[in-house]
Amino acid sequence: MTSLQNRADVIVVGGGPAGASTAWALARNGIETLIVDRARFPRAKPCAEYLSPQAARLLHEMGVLEGLERSGVTTLSGMRIHAGSASFEGNFAGSHGFRGFRNRGIAVRRERLDALLLDAARAAGARVLENAVVQDVVRDDSGAAVGVSLRRDSTVIELRARHVVGADGIRSVVARRLGLARRMRWPSRYAFVTHWEGVADVGDGVTNVAVVTDSSRATAAAGDADGFVVKLVASHATLAPHFSHARQISAVLPTGPFGSRAKAACAAGATLVGDAADFYDPFTGKGIYAALRGGELLAPYVVESLRAPNARAQRAALEAYDRCRRHEFGGKWRLERLVSIAVAHPPLLALIARRLHARCDLADLLVGVAGDFVPPREVLNLRFAMRLFAPLTATEAA
Ligand SMILES: Cc1cc2nc3c(=O)[nH]c(=O)nc-3n(C[C@H](O)[C@H](O)[C@H](O)COP(=O)(O)OP(=O)(O)OC[C@H]3O[C@@H](n4cnc5c(N)ncnc54)[C@H](O)[C@@H]3O)c2cc1C
């Protein structure tokens, strides 16, 4: 093993949105930060590539939003959800007094977005080491994280730091090595993501197609992921006509199973952020916002722990981050669970879709939650459920 005298205050494992956002905020606080990623950027990432109106605030803070907007990025005015023969639409323009940072979402290729975010972290002063696969977390005699060991080409290198951030996505090595990883048995979903051109344009003349399915269908698709997606699109009454003259331009990227939530987002000398801390289901499509916001939340607690006078005070700072994270994202986790239950029961989903079709104000509120500018508590209450299932007036039922 080669041991480099390469130290940083903080090593951030993973340079996706969570790692870039964390490193950006730390570097701006004068913390010597090193991002380590196994990929070379720009790199592909299976994703539906939708960014919520409120994610725009974090892109703006990092100095990335205006450039994206100037380059003519595709914007989304809301969401249309189909459930069998039922469907409803919600608008991002604002609802019940809530407004997003922008009144539109953004569709942008992850190759482009993630490279821009990493550049923003670099510009703030973070160093970036690409093509470096972290294999383990190095710990001291007390068990506290003091660095990582990684493989770069065929060399194993040990890098030391005062704090390690696991921002390495859904199958986080950092979470696993620290004993924090926890898989959720249900729902067990997989996704197949590809790009087509010649359909409704969502940026660069390209449309993203992301199929999320259960484990039995995903297993059946193994070996022919492209055929699986093509057949599914062709058999879908609403989608098929849009794809009649379209051309698939990228191979299907399969990913899954999803469903993981760390037992805690901290351990001695280390923290987790983004999908490494929790990822439930891509249906509500909020992962990029949560990754960026997670980094914004985490950075001040890491700074506090680095300045703490002793191990006890360090631990207290990191545990406060864990609590803050639960407070921030708890509502989102509960809503995702309810959405999953509805998706697993198509008649229930269709009933809710019909109700939301008739109640545009409630549809806007729900889509505002998906847009990250309406707090989840606005829809996670008895009053919302009662209004949703109340008898419709003649106009609403028409
Ligand atoms: C099918 C699907 C569709 C989705 N659609 C949307 C959507 O439309 N909108 C939305 O907001 N969210 C969506 N999401 C969720 C979103 O993609 C994630 O929540 C987001 O990417 C999380 O960012 P992250 O930085 O935590 O992790 P990632 O983006 O996964 O980044 C992790 C980084 O860590 C690196 N890494 C991993 N292991 C190691 C290692 N051992 N050593 C070094 N580096 C490592 C990886 O190379 C990667 O760059 C979707 C997810 C899926 C699966």
Dist. CA 69 → ligand 1 center (Å) = 23
CA atoms within 13 A on the CB side of 26: 33
CA atoms within 13 A on the CB side of 233: 24
Q: Please, what is the average pLDDT of the chain? A: 91
pLDDT for 257 equals 83
Report d(CA 180, CA 145) in Å as an integer.
13
CATH code at 2-184+259-340: 3.50.50.60
Dist. CA 377 → ligand 1 center (Å) = 26
CA-based end-to-end distance of the chain: 72
Dist. CA 349 → ligand 1 center (Å) = 27
pLDDT for 5 equals 45
Q: What are phi and psi of 125, to 5 degrees?
A: 120, 0
At 62-117, the pLDDT tens digits run 999 999 999 878 899 999 998 888 999 999 997 789 999 999 999 999 999 999 99
pLDDT band at 213 (very low <50, low <70, confident <90, very high): confident
Sign of CA dihedral 21, 23, 27, 31: positive
Provide the H-helix boundaries in the chain.
Answer: 17-28, 55-61, 65-70, 110-124, 173-177, 215-221, 225-234, 287-307, 311-344, 346-358, 360-370, 382-389, 394-397
Report d(CA 337, CA 335) in Å as an integer.
5
Report d(CA 242, CA 193) in Å as an integer.
17
Structure tokens, 118: 């990493």
* Closest protein CA for atom 50 of ligand 1: 47
Given a cut of 90, whether residue 276 has pLDDT beyond it is yes
> DSSP readout, 91-143?
ESS-BTTB--SSSSEEE--HHHHHHHHHHHHHHHT-EEE-S-EEEEEEE-TTS
Coil, helix or strand at residue 283: helix
The best mutation among 76, 168, 209, 212 to test binding of ligand 1, ranked by most ligand atoms within 8 Å of the C-beta, falls on 168
At 16-47, the pLDDT tens digits run 999 999 999 999 999 999 999 999 999 999 99
At 200-212, the pLDDT tens digits run 655 677 888 888 8
**Percentage of the chain surpassing pLDDT 70?**
95
Instruction: Note whether 144 and 46 are within 8 A (CB).
Output: no
Give the mean model confidence (pLDDT) for residues 136-160.
96
At 169-199, the pLDDT tens digits run 999 999 999 999 988 776 677 888 888 887 7
Give the binding-site residues of ligand 1, using a 6 Å CB cut-off: 13-19, 36-39, 45-50, 133-134, 167-169, 173, 191, 193, 210, 212, 255, 274-276, 279, 282, 285-289, 291
Coil, helix or strand at residue 284: helix
At 363-374, the pLDDT tens digits run 999 999 999 999
* Closest protein CA for atom 12 of ligand 1: 287
Given a cut of 80, whether residue 151 has pLDDT beyond it is yes
- Every domain of the chain and the residues it spans: 2-184+259-340, 189-255
pLDDT for 4 equals 47
* Closest protein CA for atom 37 of ligand 1: 168
pLDDT for 321 equals 98
pLDDT for 322 equals 98
pLDDT for 369 equals 94
Given a cut of 90, whether residue 141 has pLDDT beyond it is yes
Dist. CA 72 → ligand 1 center (Å) = 24
* Closest protein CA for atom 39 of ligand 1: 168
pLDDT for 108 equals 92
Dist. CA 168 → ligand 1 center (Å) = 8
The best mutation among 275, 298, 329, 333 to test binding of ligand 1, ranked by most ligand atoms within 8 Å of the C-beta, falls on 275
pLDDT for 183 equals 81
